[in-house]
């Protein structure tokens, strides 16, 4: 090895080390997270295919629901397109959590801890990279919607708003995934929560508007389930246009969820870093 030292080595103490800035660290870690996901095609393909598959099945099987009095859309596809955004966010949560858990399991987190890394940079970078993938997913869902003739009532100007809400939701769920990883420290634990999160989507207004859910307990659960308001915020842009109340509830719920999840993840990170 020593004989292979073709270039002069930098003497210790002459490297001109500075204090790395938070933004630069976030960028470096985010870039890593982004490329990690890009290099695992399964992390991109399945989060796209699976929601689209469910969307196709639901759109075909539940089309008759549009004939219910008071159903807010003429075409069930318009109504159902909001759900893939939510399911995509769940995949984002699992990807973010699994990647972070792997860093803990392999000792990569310890490697990062030995650098002058700002703790928030780890969370921001990790989540930022995964969210970029979430953006790609959201754009692909919109593209599919446009391709199959979904009428986005919000118009072209509403699409960036839809994208922003989708990103916010992905961010919040990615933070939940990060919290699970930091709390439990294993990929298996993170993946174990996936069915629970998925049930939350089904126990929401994903298939029917809340006021048309006939079963009392289901309607009650859907009313208290924050996922309902996230879906309804996205859905309002597709089937209504500009609904201030739905948008306020959607953005408000997403921000609240993000705040809680980020706080929990930050505390879990502090505990994990503290305990070694």
Partner 1 sequence: MKTPLNTLSAVEVHRRGIEVQGLVREFKEVTAVAGIDLQVAAGEIYGFLGPNGAGKSTTVLMLTTLLPPTSGRATVGGFDIAREGAKVRGVIGAALQEAALDPLLTGREHVQLQATLQGLPRADRKRRAAELLARVGLTEAADRRVGGYSGGMKRRLDLALALVHGPRILFLDEPTTGLDPQSRTALWEEVSRLARDEGMTVFLTTQYLEEADVLADRVGIIDRGKIVAEGTPAQLKAEVGRPSVEVVPVDPAQADQAHAALQQFGDCGRNGSGGNVTVSLPDGDAQLADVIRALDQADVKLASLNLHAPTLDDVFLAKTGRKLEGSGEPGSDSE
192-231 footprint of partner 1 as x/- string (CB under 8 A):
----------------------------------------
- The C-alpha atoms of residue 213 and residue 29 are separated, in whole angstroms, by 44
Other CB atoms within 10 Å distance of the CB of residue 200? 17
Selected binder of partner 1 within 23, 115, 241, 256 (CB under 8 A): 115
Per-residue tokens: 40: 């695992």
Other CB atoms within 10 Å distance of the CB of residue 197? 20
15 binds partner 1 (CB under 8 A): yes
Q: What is the DSSP string of 120-140?
A: HHHHHHHHHHHHHHHHHHHHH
Per-residue tokens: 56: 């196709």
Other CB atoms within 10 Å distance of the CB of residue 276? 6
95 binds partner 1 (CB under 8 A): no
Selected binder of partner 1 within 40, 220, 263, 271 (CB under 8 A): 40
Stretch of residues binding partner 1 (CB under 8 A), selected from 7-15, 134-142, 152-160, 194-202? 7-15
Selected binder of partner 1 within 64, 114, 196, 214 (CB under 8 A): 114
Closest CB 81 distance from partner 1, rounded Å: 32
41 binds partner 1 (CB under 8 A): no
Which H or E run contains 160?
A: helix 158-184
Q: For the chain, first and last CA: distance in Å? A: 32
Selected binder of partner 1 within 54, 113, 191, 194 (CB under 8 A): 113
- The C-alpha atoms of residue 98 and residue 30 are separated, in whole angstroms, by 15
8 binds partner 1 (CB under 8 A): yes
Instruction: Output 22 or 49, the one with its CB closest to partner 1.
Output: 22
119 binds partner 1 (CB under 8 A): no
Question: Residue 219 phi/psi, 5° resolution?
Answer: -65, -40
Site residues (CB under 8 A) for partner 1, limited to 235-274: 274
42 binds partner 1 (CB under 8 A): no
Q: What is the DSSP string of 4-33?
A: G--SPPPPTT-S---PPPHHHHHHHHHHHH
Closest CB 9 distance from partner 1, rounded Å: 6
Which residues bind to partner 1, rule: CB under 8 A? 1-20, 24-25, 28-29, 32, 35-36, 39-40, 103, 106-108, 110-117, 274-276
């Amino acid at each position: 090895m020593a004989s292979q030292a073709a270039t002069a080595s930098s003497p210790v103490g002459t490297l001109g080390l500075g204090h790395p800035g938070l933004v630069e660290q976030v960028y470096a870690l985010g870039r890593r997270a982004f490329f990690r996901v890009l290099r695992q095609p399964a992390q991109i393909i399945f989060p796209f295919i699976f929601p689209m598959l469910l969307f196709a099945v639901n759109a075909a099987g539940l089309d008759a629901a549009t004939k219910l009095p008071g159903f807010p859309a003429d075409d069930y596809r318009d109504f159902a397109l909001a759900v893939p955004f939510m399911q995509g966010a769940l995949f984002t949560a699992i990807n973010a959590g699994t990647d972070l858990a792997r860093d803990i399991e392999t000792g990569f987190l310890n490697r990062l801890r030995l650098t002058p890394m700002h703790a928030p940079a780890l969370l921001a970078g990790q989540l930022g990279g995964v969210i970029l993938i979430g953006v790609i997913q959201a754009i692909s869902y919109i593209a599919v919607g446009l391709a199959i003739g979904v009428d986005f009532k919000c118009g072209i100007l509403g699409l960036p708003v839809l994208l922003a809400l989708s990103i916010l939701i992905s961010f919040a769920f990615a933070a939940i995934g990060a919290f699970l990883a930091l709390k439990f420290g294993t990929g298996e634990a993170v993946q174990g929560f996936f069915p629970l999160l998925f049930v939350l989507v089904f126990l929401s207004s994903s298939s029917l508007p809340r006021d048309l859910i006939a079963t009392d307990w289901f309607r009650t659960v859907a009313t208290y389930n924050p996922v309902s308001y996230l879906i309804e915020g996205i859905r309002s842009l597709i089937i209504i246009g500009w609904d201030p109340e739905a948008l306020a509830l959607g953005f408000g719920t997403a921000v609240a969820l993000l705040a809680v999840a980020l706080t929990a993840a930050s505390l879990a990170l502090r505990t994990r870093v503290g305990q070694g």
